Structures are given as C-alpha cells and as structure tokens.
C-alpha cells in the first residue's frame, strides 16, 4: 500500500493536490493500481500541472520500466488530445463552409486559398494556420440581412 512521508497529502487525495514529492514517491514506490489516478489525470490534462511535474522528474531520473511507462503515457495522451483538436478544427472548417452557402471553390476563393487546400483543412489532414482559421470562420458567419430603409 502506497504511503507518503513528509508531505501533506494522502494517496487517497486528488492527484492534482499532491506535491511533487508525492508524485515521485508514487512513481518510484507505487504499483500499477497506485499509478491509475495519475494516468487518469495525465489523460484528462496532458499538458497540465501533474503531467508537467512528472516530465520534470523524468528529466532527472534513471530510465527504468516505470519512468518509460510514464513517458509513454504522457506522449500518448498528448497524441490523442492533438488528434481530437485537429478533428475539432476540421469540423469547424466544414461547418463554416456549410453556413456560408457557397461552393467549396467559391469559399476557398473567398478566404484566399485553393479548393484542394481547403479540402485538406476540411478533412483534417492539414491544420490551417490561426489566421486562416479566423478567415474561414469569419467567411462562414451568416450575413445579417440589410435593413430596409
């Protein structure tokens, strides 16, 4: 059973409240069941404080089975998060095109890109730059009808 010494935390506390020393203890002395809450937090927030603290520890620790496993968990969580984010951007592009009422070729012309490049954005195979995404979303905004004077 995992126990912390000289820290104000218990293994049953939320992982996000554990100090750095508690994370190190869990990695070094814990077993797979003790690691599960840490892995869950890494999946929830791949660039969060817990993942960053573990990365800091991995930079200075000896490479062994547990440290390799934690590095793999961080890497995988980030890959999954990035894939989801790319999918979300592609969905935003598709939605903007649909809202515009234009053909893909017309829409591409409107935002200053080619139809084939726009297609790569819409499928998620290429992620548009931040400025291109803003242009795409602006072009996809429904135009307000002009008020009769």
Same domain, 94 and 57: no
Chain segment 19-70, per-residue pLDDT in tens: 999 999 999 999 999 999 999 999 999 999 999 999 999 999 999 999 999 9
| Residue 70 domain-assigned (yes or no) | yes
Q: How many domains does the chain have?
A: 2
Q: Which residues of 110-145 are buried (b: 16+ CB within 10 A; e: fewer)?
A: bbebeeeebbbbbebeebbeeebbebbeebbeeeee
Q: Given this model, what pLDDT does residue 128 score?
A: 97
**Residue that is last in its domain, among 64, 81, 98:** 81
Same domain, 76 and 22: yes
Chain segment 94-140, per-residue pLDDT in tens: 999 999 999 999 999 999 999 999 999 999 999 999 999 999 999 99
**Residue 29 domain boundaries:** 15-81
| Residue 146 domain-assigned (yes or no) | no
| Residue 99 domain-assigned (yes or no) | yes
User: pTM score, two decimals?
Assistant: 0.81
């Amino acid at each position: 059973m995992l126990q912390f010494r000289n820290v104000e935390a218990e293994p049953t506390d939320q992982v996000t409240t554990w100090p750095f020393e508690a994370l190190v203890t869990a990695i070094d002395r814990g077993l797979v069941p003790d690691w599960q809450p840490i892995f869950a937090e890494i999946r929830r927030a791949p660039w969060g404080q817990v993942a960053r603290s573990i990365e800091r520890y991995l930079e200075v620790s000896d490479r062994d089975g547990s440290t390799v496993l934690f590095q793999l968990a961080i890497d995988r969580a980030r890959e999954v998060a990035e894939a989801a984010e790319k999918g979300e951007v592609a969905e935003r592009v598709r939605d903007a095109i649909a809202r515009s009422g234009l053909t893909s070729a017309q829409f591409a012309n409107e935002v200053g890109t080619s139809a084939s490049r726009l297609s790569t954005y819409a499928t998620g195979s290429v992620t548009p730059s931040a400025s291109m995404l803003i242009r795409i979303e602006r072009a996809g905004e429904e135009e307000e009808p002009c008020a009769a004077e």
